[in-house]
Chains A and B, each alone.
Chain A
Amino acid sequence: MNDPRLDRGDFGLLLLGLLADRPMYGYELLAELRARTESVIDLPEGTVYPALRRLERDGLIAGRWQDAAGAPRRRYYDLTAEGAQSLADGAAAWRKFASAADAILGS
């Protein structure tokens, strides 16, 4: 596995996958991640913000502040076209890796 998007310690690809559905803010992303993985993937919450900053710096997502009723304003993130391409490439690489691993470990 030599695709940096599949590094064990970097969940940027998962964040891109979540943002492919709709723009979300940090808290919402983590909640969605837990819900969709049935809490199998449960990260230290604070680590999502550095990860989002890295993705934004790489041009894969774009952040924007948005006021929230009765709550502090939130920073929502949108997937960019470059991010969508990166997600497609990363997902393909992951499926290829998973298929290869499955050939050994599966059934």
Chain B
Amino acid sequence: MHDMLKRLRSRNEFWLAIVLLGLVVFFSFTAPAFFTIGNLNDLLTQNAFTGILCAGLIVVLIAGGIDISFTATASVVQYAAVTLANMYGMNWIILLVIAGGLGAIMGTINAFFVVKFRIHSIIVSIATLNIFYGLLIFITSGSYITTVPDYFYDGINWLEFQLGRRSYGINLQMVLLFGSFILTAFILKATNIGRQIYAMGGNPDAAQRLGFSIFRLNLFVYGYMGFIAGIASIAHAQLQLNVTPTVLVGRELTVLAAVVLGGASLMGGVGTVLGTILGVSFLCVLQNGLIILGLPARWEGAVTGLVILIAVAASALEGSRQMNMRRASRKGQEAGAAT
């Protein structure tokens, strides 16, 4: 029992869950409108875009790479997919398949340069971000799409029920949000490719020596990120009921912050879906709660930034504290090590 507690305490998720819980309790007591079905509905719907992207980025970080081009990918996919839907009137399942597929293809471009040219992923994705986004705005002249398929207006809802004057249900955003996280968790935990991704992120040289197919793995990783970006873009378009090609780019660093808050390491090999969910929930709950408390929306960024800074500093301090503890107890551990 004591051991389990100790193991738990050394985990980032544990602390994050505690802080998140504290935050929820705090807002529940101070802001009556916070702990309501309506607000939960808003929280999930409004933040679905960011959340879905987190489910993709965690895979890239675990693989030891980084990607910031996904907002540009999402912009391109959103524009292309909605244009196609307007032209050919496809239903939303086909729309999602097309969006995901197109995103995946764009994502694999990153993998190609990362593996075949051995350029670091941060540089590749800075480049592809500019290429995708630049070409999109160049070709579309930055014009909006104001007509969207009819079923966008009706919304996609299941299990609808009436509460007060509003009706609630499970909407497209929630389905895609939970679906992405479940899919990512399944891939990472239960499939060979997921375990290979962890291994490659943990020690790329060893992965190479053991004959992992590094190129195929990276194609999957960046392709999956692109796929997720495509899915997220549809969730966003359906919510906004229009397509503005310039609104998505610029959000990539927020997604990165959420995933890293959730405990993923920029060095690769480390990170969990649970941590990611907690990380992104934490940021979203904080912003949502503060606004309900009456903080003007324009101060949102400052508070978020402050929290990120405190969180990263605290986790760095905790890391060095654990190092010191390890030294003090090392003799004991070595004696107790299994033979």
A associates with B: no
Question: A-side interface residues toward B, CB under 8 Å?
Answer: none
Question: B-side interface residues toward A, CB under 8 Å?
Answer: none
